[in-house]
Every structure is written in C-alpha cells, then in structure tokens.
Structure 1
Amino acid sequence: MSRNLDYSPLETSKWKHLPPPPGFSKSVSSHKGSSKAVAKTSPEEYDRLKDKRAWDLAISPAKSLPMQAFMLYMSGGGVQIFSMGIVFMLLSSPFKNILGINNAFAQFAPSKSSDPKSLTTLFIQKLAYIGCNLLTLAVGLWKCRSMGLLPLGTGDWLAFESRGLSPEISLL
C-alpha cells in the first residue's frame, strides 16, 4: 500500500493569508530576491555594518575576561600542571592575538569608495583590541604574582646582591 503526498492543499490553505512574523522581509525571504536585497545595500550601510563588526572583534578579548578569571579562580593558587596550563594559555593568547591583528581586521577593511575617516576608525579599533589583550595579559600576570611565580620580593633577588666587607671586631 503506497501513499503519495499531495501538496496541492497547501497553496489554498488557511495559513497562507497570515501576516508575516515581526522582522520578516519578503525580499530577503525569497530565494530569487535574496541576492537582490544584498545588491540594494548601499556601500555606506555595508561599511557601517563592517565597522560594527570590527568593534565587536575589538572588544571580544574583554568579553572573555570573566570566564578566564573564573577559570583562574577554579584552578587554585598552587603550582600544579592544570593551573600552569591555564596561566600559560592566558599569557600566550594576547601575544598571538597582537601578532595576528592585521589578519583579524583584514575582513573589516573599508571599501575604496568610503571616506578616509574610516581608516582612522579602524586604527582606533585596533588600539582597543590591543588594549583589551593587554588587559588579559595583566590578569595573567596577576595570577602569576598570586601563585608566587613572579620575583617581586626582596628575597627573590638575594642571589644578585653583593655583600660588603664585614667590619673587623676587636675585643682588645
């Protein structure tokens, strides 16, 4: 017993006359109209969208700081392999991010038709990206300090101190 599906009632269905959901655009929804909707976007709007996405990328290291701080808290204050791995990843990721900054922001380069002011905006976003990565590095160094891995006390530098001649003591 084979059954075939009949799709003809769908075209005359009662659901066809419902209003579209909020935010639904007919030109974007149709397969043929979707490429036309992209073509209708002006270069200024496209540059504004790229600018917004570049800002999202610029502050993304700061957005991940709460999770990284929680991971550092959960790893404990002792020097174990787990806590050292987390600290190493936290200290190495800002350097990797800063070295690859041009590749990260390459997709957000302004179009040729835009004004030269947008180049300055991308420079500011790169500075914000570097600042957020330096903040991540500072959190990693703070964890190293709390674990006792940074030589900040005077006792850590005793090997490099030179001793003067001791005074002679005469009892006579």
Structure 2
Amino acid sequence: MDIAQTPAKALAMQGFMMYMTGSSVSIISIMVVGMSLLNSAQALAAVNQRFERVADGHISLILPKLIYVALNCVFLGMGLYKCSSLGLLPSTAVDFISRLPSKAYRAEVSSVPV
C-alpha cells in the first residue's frame, strides 16, 4: 500500500505549484502543466512495472493498483483543469468556429441599369 499511496504525498505540492503559476500563459505555467501531464501519463503507463518487486503471487495487488491509478488520474485531472483555466483546451463553441462551413454569398442583382 505504500507504493500505491506514493502519488498522494506529492498531491499537495503539485496543487500548490499550479496555484502559484497563476492564470496567465507563460513559460513557467506551461512547463508545470506539461510536466504534470507527462508524469501522470508515464505513471499510468508503468503501473505493472511499479508493482513488480512486491508481486509474489500470494497477495492480491488489485486494490493497491486501483488506488495508484486513481491518484494518478487525480494528477491528470489537475493538469487538464489547469490547461482549461489557461485557455489551452478547446472547451467552448467559439473554439470550433473554424470548422463550420462558410456560407456562399450571392452578389446583389438589380434590374435597374447603372
């Protein structure tokens, strides 16, 4: 269970770092968010490797692995929330306006000669 609870020890520090970077887009805030997303994605990809040294076949590691995955999903959610608050994620209809088809406007026609 100690391995499963390892991400919880860094949760407050990561939240504090995201809070201190502010709400403006700068290189520091991008780096903090990027590292948060990258580290949580790498941790989710290496769950079985993390628990290899304690896996002996006699004890079930399903609950510790689920806790580990859940805590890393919290980290991932914090990073995505920060991306959304910085305006880096497309979350409104205006963000997708370039995908709308443009209307073909017809030139006005008059029967009065110019």
Shorter-chain TM-score tier: 0.7 to 0.9
Could you tell me the TM-score, scaled by structure 2's length?
A: 0.84
Is residue 154 of structure 1 aligned with residue 93 of structure 2?
yes
SS in 2 for 1:130: helix
Is residue 107 of structure 1 aligned with residue 46 of structure 2?
no
Task: Measure how far apart 1:170 and its partner are.
Answer: 8.3
Bigger Rg, structure 1 or 2? 1
Distance 1:60 1:171, change over 3 A: farther
Give % identity.
34
Q: Which runs of 4+ in 1 moved over 6 A?
A: 167-172
Q: Match for residue 102 of structure 2? A: 163
Task: Measure how far apart 1:126 and its partner are.
Answer: 1.1
Segments of 5+ residues of structure 2 without an aligned counterpart are: none
Task: Measure how far apart 1:141 and its partner are.
Answer: 0.3
Q: Match for residue 80 of structure 1? A: 26
Q: Match for residue 124 of structure 1? A: 63
Alpha-carbon distance between aligned partners in 2 of 1:65 and 1:75, rounded to the nearest angstrom = 16
Amino acid at match of 2:96: W
How many residues were matched structurally? 111
SS in 2 for 1:56: coil
Could you tell me the TM-score, scaled by structure 1's length?
A: 0.58
Cα RMSD for the two superposed structures:
2.1
Alpha-carbon distance between aligned partners in 1 of 2:80 and 2:72, rounded to the nearest angstrom = 12
